[in-house]
Amino acid sequence: MIPLFVVVFYLPFGWSHIVTAIIFSLAAITDWADGYVARKYNQSTPFGAFLDPVADKLMVAIALLLLVTLHHDSAWFVVAAAVIVGREIVISALREWMAEVGQRASVAVSSIGKIKTTLQMTAIIVLLMNIPLLMPIGFIALAAAAVLTLWSMFFYLRAAWPFLLPSSDKK
């Protein structure tokens, strides 16, 4: 859906932003439903386990990148988007490394991460719609998501810290 999402975003029509928000919403809903069904029926594949988080992060990163083109004059917006994307890269690398050392459960998804994701998705959808009356809701949700992004990253890094130190430094 990402190529369609980008193309529709740049279409020169008044409805393009609403349709972009709908495409993003459908991607988010189908991603959630897919994860729910996979957990409920205990079904997964190695390819799905690899591709799902990559696709999620790509969709969010590209959505934020597109939104930065609309709000590039707002330094806090650019910083918030950079914090969210940067955290995703750091935590993805951390989870991969922790899995290699057999400690993946130490950096499992937390409730803070779920709240952050909900705020982030809400912000992106509202901001993609580009409806002036709703923009403050989107800005507040994005700012809150950025704060929770840093907070959750702190907890993930704190949990992983003992495993990041050389063996002789562990206490």
Cα–Cα dist 123/107, whole Å: 25
Q: Which amino acid is at 14?
A: G
pTM for the whole structure: 0.85
Ranges under pLDDT 50 in the chain = 168, 170
Largest CA distance in the chain: 62
| Cα 1 to Cα 8, 11, 77, distances in angstroms | 11, 16, 25
pLDDT in tens, 156-165: 888 888 877 7
Distance CA 57, CA 91 (A): 11
pLDDT tens digits for range 60-74: 999 999 999 999 889
Q: First-to-last CA distance in the chain?
A: 47
Output 108-111 pairs: Cβ under 8 A, ≥24 positions apart: 110/152, 110/155, 110/156
